[in-house]
């Protein structure tokens, strides 16, 4: 079976990484226009770097949970699995998943806005950092901000359109184009979430509860 899995912030929440859109989410404590847009970065790059430096430190201290581990195990079984994540952390990779598609970029990578070079980010980034390729002081986190196009959309769309099963795990289904992937799914659709998402009615089936409990149980049934 071809399985396309989309994960969101709910998968990493139990590892201590904050979600975005719940009542205590990150966007209730920060102005996204200041820390998650190209315009905000142009106005105050130091503020944006401070925000992502804190998140990078949090990510480095976090540990993959049972949901991350179960999804890595799923890929070792008989099914063809494409793992797509909205998350910018590296917990899927640290759990053993390979070829993870990070549609919103990667927190632990840096990007040069001048030449497009990418490299492993230091734990602390600064507006004064020089690009190792071109030398410009135009370094930023390798993150897809609001108003920018998510990465690898052609590969993501193809995987979802041709899958036998599309599973969305721990996502609020409020951010597009990720929220619209269920409409592209060529097979059955399943939502695994703590509670019904904004697009719950678009899915054929649902399982609700903590990701660290529900995902391992679901994976066990498939293996």
- 3-class SS of residue 26: helix
The strand ranges marked E within 9-125 are: 80-85, 101-102, 105-112, 118-120
Give catalytic status of residue 128 as yes or no.
no
Residue listed under structure tokens 């409409």: 183
The number of helices, as runs of H, and strands, as runs of E, in the chain is 10, 9
The tokens for 29 are 């404590």
The tokens for 17 are 């990484």
Nearest CA-CA partner of 11 in 154, 168, 159: 168
Polymer length in residues for the chain: 223
Is the preceding peptide bond at 118 cis, omega within 30 degrees of 0?
no
- 67 sits in the region (left: phi over 0; alpha: psi -120 to 50; else beta) called alpha
Q: How far apart are CA 132 and CA 17, in angstroms?
A: 30
- 3-class SS of residue 137: coil
Question: Which residue is catalytic, options 49, 68, 92, 104?
Answer: 104
Q: Which residues are catalytic?
A: 104
């Amino acid at each position: 079976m071809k399985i396309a899995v989309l994960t969101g912030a709910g998968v990493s929440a139990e590892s201590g990484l904050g979600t975005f859109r719940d009542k205590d989410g990150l966007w209730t404590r920060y102005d996204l226009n200041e820390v998650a847009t190209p315009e905000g970065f142009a106005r105050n790059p130091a503020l944006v770097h401070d925000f992502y430096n804190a998140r990078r430190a949090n990510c480095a201290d976090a540990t993959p949970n049972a949901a991350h581990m179960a999804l890595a195990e799923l890929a070792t079984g008989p099914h063809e699995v494409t793992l797509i994540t909205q998350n910018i952390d590296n917990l899927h990779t640290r759990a053993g998943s390979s070829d993870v598609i990070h549609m919103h970029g990667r927190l632990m990578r840096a990007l040069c806005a001048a030449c497009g070079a990418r490299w492993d980010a230091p734990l602390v980034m600064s507006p004064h950092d020089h690009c190792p390729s071109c030398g410009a002081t135009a370094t930023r986190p390798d993150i897809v901000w609001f108003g920018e196009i998510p990465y690898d959309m052609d590969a993501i769309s193809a995987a979802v359109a041709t899958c036998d099963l599309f599973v969305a795990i721990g996502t609020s289904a409020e951010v597009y184009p990720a929220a619209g992937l269920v409409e592209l799914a060529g097979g059955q659709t399943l939502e695994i979430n703590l509670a019904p998402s904004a697009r719950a009615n678009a899915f054929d089936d649902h399982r609700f509860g903590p990701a660290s409990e529900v995902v391992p149980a679901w994976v066990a049934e498939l293996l």
